[in-house]
Each structure stands twice: as structure tokens, then as C-alpha cells.
Amino acid sequence: MPQIQNGHFVVLGGASQVGSHIADQLLLAGAREVVLVDNLSLGSEDGVRDLLADPRCRLVRADILRLEQVVAALEGADGAFHVVGLMASTIGQDPWLGMDVNMRGLYNTAEACRIRGVGKVVFSSSAGVYGVPEGDPITEDFPLRWQEVPAAMALYGASKAIGESMLRLYRERHQVDYVALRYTAVYGNRQHRRALVGGGLAAACLRVRQGLPPEVEGSGEQRHDYIHVEDVARANVMAMESDLSGEALNICSGTDISRKDAIEMVLRLAGSALRPVQADAPGSVRAGASMPVTPRQNYSRERAQRLLGWEPRVSLEEGVARLLRWCDTLATTP
């Protein structure tokens, strides 16, 4: 399997929150070269400027939907991280674009790896592949139960499941190794504004720092398993360097919290006297507000611990404190 030390790695979606943190950890682990591939339609070069100050890191502007550009970007790579993906909110607005990016984009990565002889792909999948799972705990063997989720969320989860199946096909037919990592609610610094509403956590931090009351959508009882982006990035690097192939792993904290309790934590850590306000957006797919409220989200991280040796290190309280500090660096206007 590819060794990080002195290796050459490509991060597809490298200007994203998760992608940039993967690059951080690759450089810290001694990678020889890290190539960030992004079309910058959502991220920006400013967001990775610190990374690009390292001579081992460079940015290639390319489109995941252009196979020839992906093939060119993967020249000489020992491994690839596929972080590209559009969220349910985008799929709801433009279903064809969202599904095209999530499915054909992953196909282009797999095919480019076959052409270039890249040994391994680590795929940013999602706990969305479960829909509304039944059972406790939620393990990697659970099927997609899409009937009870909003249509855009069901399409998003299905696109991730198809992506995992695409990589399984390329492993069977072309010996391209892969590991799929199923993230729960990722949060942390460098969160793109399109994802600030993800789980409501980053949006709440930003509004509080702007002197605005945090918004609670729905009943506030919707539960999330928050996982810090640094823990997610570390799982990616560990998966690349491991002997694992053909596996899907939950990358989660294993602990859930309601949205309203998470917002109360934000207010407490910020030392704010503000109180939450109700702010529903009918017909929108925002932060899972329209998802069915479940008693708990007990995602199991046992397989990731057993097969990869991975466990989260950043507690939710510490992660929220870091997120508040990051929000201090953003513009103070809404």
C-alpha cells in the first residue's frame, strides 16, 4: 500500500474543507508532493494559500467531469483522495448536476486511476448511505432506507452508495484498491459557506459571533453525530497507508446530540446571552430539518477502530471552541 513518507498524492476536491485538511496531514506526515485538484467553483485559492506556501504542495485547476483533466492530474500519483461531491441542497436545486458530479465524477477518478496505475483511492462517502437506518448501533452492514427521507437526501445517499459500488467494480476488474469512509456530520474550520448549515453547528457559531441569535430549524430535536474535520482527515491518511482494501468504514464520534443542545453548547462556550430563534425554511433541505426525528443516532465506529486503529481525538466541546475561534477570523457581516 502507498506510504505517505516521500509519496506523491492527489486530493481531488483539494480546496474543500475536508480536502485541505487531508493535504495538511499529508504534508505533516512527510509526503513528497501533494496536488490539490479543484475547479474552484465552491472553494477558493485563498482558502488553501497557507498550504500552497509549502513548495511540496501545488494547486491544479481541473474539472472532475473532464476525464482527460483528471487523468493528467493523476500522473505519477501513488494514491488519490476523492473528496469531490455535491450536497443534498445542491441536488435538490439541480438534480442532474448533483448526480453527475457525484457519480460520473467518481467514475472519472476510478478510470483515471486505472489508466495511470494509481494504487489506491480513499473515497469520501457519507452516512447518508443509510437513509434512516433501523437498529442500534448503526453498523456498516445496514442497507439504504430511503423511503422516509426527503427526495434530495435520498438521491444524495444513493449517489454515495453508487460511488462505493463503482469502486468495488474497479477493484474486482482492474485491481484498483479503495477504502470508503462514511462521514457523519463533519464540522470545523475552513467550512465552506454552502455547508455552514450542515447540522446547524457552524451556522450557529457564525451568527453568534455576528451578534445574531442562532437559528433552530424544525423542533430542534433532530440529532447529529458531529465529527471534527481533523479526525476525518486523519482517518483518510490512515486509510491510505493501511493494508485495507474494499472496505467501508463509519467515521463518526459514536455520540449524538440534539440540534438545540448543540446550539446551547455554542452559546455557553461563546459566553453569549443570546437565545435561539425559530427559523424554518419550508421546502428547503437545510441541515436535515425535514429529516424524521429519531430517538438517537448511534453510529458504530467499532470497525474503523478494529481495522484501521482510528478513533476520534477532538471532543465536541473542544471542536466547538475551535470553530468559534475560526468564526472570529471571518467577516462580521451576515
Quickly list DSSP for 181-224. Answer: EEE-EEE-TT--GGGTTGGGHHHHHHHHHTT-PPEE-TTS--EE
The DSSP letter of residue 127 is G
The DSSP letter of residue 199 is G
Say yes or no: domain 8-188+227-252+296-313 is CATH 3.40.50.300.
no
Predicted confidence (pLDDT) per residue in 51-74, tens digit: 999 999 999 999 999 999 999 999
Residue 68's pLDDT is what?
A: 98
Predicted confidence (pLDDT) per residue in 292-318, tens digit: 666 678 999 999 999 999 999 999 999
Q: Tell me the one-letter amino acid at 63.
A: D
Q: How far apart are CA 315 and CA 224, in angstroms?
A: 14
SS3 205: helix
CB distance 188 to 253 below 8 Å:
no
CB distance 186 to 233 below 8 Å:
no
CB distance 279 to 325 below 8 Å:
no
The DSSP letter of residue 131 is B
By mean pLDDT, which of 9-18, 198-207, 263-272, 314-323 is the weakest? 198-207
| pLDDT (average), residues 275-296 | 61
CB distance 22 to 83 below 8 Å:
yes
* Phi then psi dihedrals of residue 223, to 5 deg: -100, 150
SS3 60: strand
pLDDT for residue 284 is more than 80: no
pTM for this prediction = 0.93
Q: For residue 248, what is the enclosing H or E element?
A: strand 247-251
SS3 305: helix
Q: How far apart are CA 7 and CA 3, in angstroms?
A: 6
Residue 165's pLDDT is what?
A: 98
The DSSP letter of residue 276 is -
Q: How far apart are CA 250 and CA 295, in angstroms?
A: 19
CB distance 150 to 290 below 8 Å:
yes
Residue 269's pLDDT is what?
A: 96
Alpha-helix residue ranges (DSSP H) falling in the chain: 17-28, 49-52, 67-73, 88-93, 95-99, 105-116, 151-174, 201-209, 229-241, 259-270, 302-308, 316-328
Cβ neighbours of 31 (radius 10 Å): 24
pLDDT for residue 199 is more than 60: no
As a whole-number percent, the residues of the chain with pLDDT over 70 amount to 92
The DSSP letter of residue 22 is H
Predicted confidence (pLDDT) per residue in 23-41, tens digit: 999 999 999 999 999 999 8
Residue 332's pLDDT is what?
A: 47
